[in-house]
Structure 1
Amino acid sequence: MELLLGYYLDQFKDAPRCSLYDRRKRKQMVEYISTMIQGCAANDDNVQETCKEAVSTLVRYHKKAKTANGTVCMMGKYHNILYVAMKLCYLWQLKDHETVALVLHEIYSCERTFERIFIGAIFGTKAPHYIAGTRVVLNLTCIFPKFDFLLGWKSDFDDQEENIRGLVYFLDKANYARLELPFDVGGEIKLFRFIDLPIESCGKTSATKLSVQLGLPDRLLILLRFGALTVNDKDVVTVYDHILNRLMEFNHCYPYNLVACLQLLLRVIPMVKICLPEAANMITKDSVIERYGDLVDDGLLPLSRCGFRPPELKHLSRCTIRRKLWENFQLPTGIRMLPLPVTLHRYLDILED
């Protein structure tokens, strides 16, 4: 497999720099290499190993081109070939999480974002044409006009449903690989998990916060199940503060999608955290009534989640178990391994309350 793919990539060197800019060209390459994988695999049991070899060869090809350019990615076809590798991982459902993580790490080392994966799942496959890749591209095109062909990136997935399935696949493999990547936050380098990495072209907002802002409970459920907002940090506070303030704008006539988002968010923390002028990140009964009395009266903000009553022991147990599973990169797959009834599995997996 490596030898045949090597011959193919030797011919690829003569292709134009923008040869993989068009999604159709990347799709053609994916189909061609998929045919090679199927032909080289002696049987079904050998497909996974053959796919792994093909993906690894593509990653090495990118690294070689990058090294030849002084460790600076030339973008263009040499970078876009990583998205061919990414799509092959998804199409063949490659189980080797280390190889999948290697592809993700190589993409991130050049782009410092995974927006081309996340944005298609959140906005749909047409949105990346206008949004994804803008941080990488706009800065380059201002200095080097030759990079203008990178504008208008289109998702490698056929539709939004496939994009969501692809996101779930990569979230799962990133968890198995315990993938953590550095990101500059105000001059300080911090490690982020794949699911929590900010999206540059959306104001460095996480996919979770973006789903809440847009009122997308189905996407939010996926992200929360995989451990988003498990850590009580500033990002968690701003997410809850945003959804509560948004709901207060509707004067007792609340949109279903925002209510659904709040209900999901209340399943993953012991008690709601909100921003207050007098004491940031702290909450008192009087302050809750003053700011969100309508939500308390209408039952959207339960008394057990805002300080009036202690949270239920069952809910506190869920938060604690999920936190321990998150620390070990076991959300949500580790839930099914716990010796508990199926109904409790669903409760821990925030599929029901």
Structure 2
Amino acid sequence: IFMDVILDCYFDDVFCQLERNYFMARYKRRQLVDYLNTVIKGYVRGEGCAEATAVACAVMAAIRYHDNSKTSNGEVCLMGKFHNILYIATKLCYDWKLKDNTIVAHLLNDIYHCEHTFERLFVGAILGTRVTNLVSGWKSDFENPEENLSAIEYFLNHATEAKLEYENNGRKTRFIDISMESYTRTQPLRIAAQFGKADVLLLLLRYGASIMFDYETGELPVERPLIQFCRVHVSNSPLNQIEGPFSCLKMLIRAVPTMATLPSDSFDGEVRVCIGRDTCGLSTLYVHPKLLQEGMIPPSRSGLIPPELKHLSRCAIRNVLGKNWQLPLGIRSLHIPTSLQDYLDLLED
């Protein structure tokens, strides 16, 4: 269509003259997003076409430019502006809430095949823009924590619908579990738990992020919040005042069947001990008894008494739904009361 011609001309005649690192600066990426938004709105008004059609044209033009430049270089991405154009496309997809799953999946595939990570989509919600700028020189394209979180959910929905999996460290790994290369090659869920980002953690858990033992890091996601609690056991303040780690711990124990914890009166906050795994794939951890005394870890989740049948049923049902790419949206199709749907969706305990 006519809009394709306009955008192809822009990329051929204007974009090609920009410096290679032009789009490393976030404000420059935003300038192009604003320009493309203007083109989309103008085309919709002038031609009377649907917004979704115009947005799809703009996104595909960016993908096409990236793919053509990669093909001309022997299937090796030139990176710089040639690759960063994909992040302008991600912002367009999110801003207009593009529903075309084929296009969004194509975009995510292109990002992974060049970077082998999706960290730029996740870090803004987990760490904010200041830390990420220092670590990787990249600022999130999304405006604030709320928009960053909403953007993650948008792309998780599309990745789940498309059933996106990638070869990562020799095994098939889902979009949600792809490690963040600049952040110790750790999964987003573990980074969120480490930094006490309960809202991000809950979102990732709801969409079925892996909570199993990680052989590369040698730990479970639940360990980070537990370690932070144990290191302040000498404090006179209640442990639940540490809001971030406490909230994360509450979220995590909703998603695991149980933990095998051994209270220790002589716990050294600087020493972390993992002494094996049980049949659920969970490490045995030493924790300070104050965690159990103050109810930070409920007895039924600590391994001291059996977990509730209701909780075990939740874990089993979520496991089946997750294997079938039905988390969390498939929960709402179950013919059960809303209160039970919320329980399955980890929104209640």
TM range (shorter): 0.7 to 0.9
Change (3 A) 1:290 1:117: closer
Distance 2:43 2:64 in 1: 20
Change (3 A) 1:45 1:226: farther
Asked if the contact 1:225–1:332 (Cα under 8 Å) also holds between the matched residues in 2, the reply is yes
Q: Which residue does the alignment assign to 2:161?
A: 176
Letter paired with 1:192: T
Q: Which residue does the alignment assign to 1:338?
A: 334
Q: Which residue does the alignment assign to 2:10?
A: 8
Q: Which residue does the alignment assign to 1:90?
A: 94
Letter paired with 2:41: Q
Q: CA deviation at 1:161?
A: 2.1
Which one of the candidate residues 150, 175, 199 is aligned to 1:165? 150
156-165 or 196-205, which moves further after superposition? Answer: 156-165
Q: CA deviation at 1:326?
A: 0.9
1:261 aligns with 2:248: yes
Aligned residues: 327
Distance 2:44 2:193 in 1: 44
Asked if the contact 1:241–1:274 (Cα under 8 Å) also holds between the matched residues in 2, the reply is no
Q: Which residue does the alignment assign to 1:68?
A: 72
1:164-243 → structure 2 map (5 Å cutoff): 164-184=149-169, 189-229=170-210, 234=215, 238-243=220-225
Q: CA deviation at 1:293?
A: 3.1
SS across alignment from 1:153: coil
Asked if the contact 1:120–1:155 (Cα under 8 Å) also holds between the matched residues in 2, the reply is yes
Q: Any unmatched runs of 5+ in structure 2?
A: 263-271
SS across alignment from 1:13: helix
Q: Which residue does the alignment assign to 1:272?
A: 259
- What is the TM-score of this pair, normalised by structure 1? 0.85
SS across alignment from 1:218: helix
Distance 1:93 1:236 in 2: 38
Asked if the contact 1:183–1:192 (Cα under 8 Å) also holds between the matched residues in 2, the reply is yes
Which one of the candidate residues 22, 43, 49 is aligned to 1:19? 22
Q: CA deviation at 1:15?
A: 2.2
Distance 2:207 2:289 in 1: 32
Letter paired with 1:36: V
Letter paired with 1:73: C
Change (3 A) 1:96 1:237: same
SS across alignment from 1:336: helix
Q: Which residue does the alignment assign to 1:248?
A: 230
Distance 2:219 2:285 in 1: 18
Change (3 A) 1:243 1:153: closer
Q: Any unmatched runs of 5+ in structure 1?
A: 133-151
Distance 2:38 2:184 in 1: 40
1:351 aligns with 2:337: no
Distance 2:22 2:115 in 1: 19
SS across alignment from 1:316: helix
Asked if the contact 1:274–1:281 (Cα under 8 Å) also holds between the matched residues in 2, the reply is no
Asked if the contact 1:230–1:323 (Cα under 8 Å) also holds between the matched residues in 2, the reply is no
Letter paired with 1:22: A
Q: CA deviation at 1:224?
A: 1.0
Q: CA deviation at 1:14?
A: 2.1
CA RMSD of the aligned region, Å? 2.5
Identity of aligned residues (%): 42
Change (3 A) 1:274 1:69: farther
For 1:186-225, what per-residue CA distance to the aligned partner results, in whole angstroms no more than 9, with x for missing partners? Answer: xxx1121111111111111111111111122122111111
Asked if the contact 1:55–1:89 (Cα under 8 Å) also holds between the matched residues in 2, the reply is yes
SS across alignment from 1:238: coil
Q: Which residue does the alignment assign to 2:52?
A: 48
- What is the TM-score of this pair, normalised by structure 2? 0.86
Q: CA deviation at 1:233?
A: 6.0
Change (3 A) 1:70 1:289: closer
Asked if the contact 1:125–1:160 (Cα under 8 Å) also holds between the matched residues in 2, the reply is no
Q: Which residue does the alignment assign to 1:149?
A: none
Asked if the contact 1:241–1:273 (Cα under 8 Å) also holds between the matched residues in 2, the reply is no
Asked if the contact 1:196–1:228 (Cα under 8 Å) also holds between the matched residues in 2, the reply is yes
38-47 or 217-226, which moves further after superposition? Answer: 38-47
For 1:253-310, what per-residue CA distance to the aligned partner results, in whole angstroms no more than 9, with x for missing partners? Answer: 3122222111111101111257997851139xxx979644332222222221233322
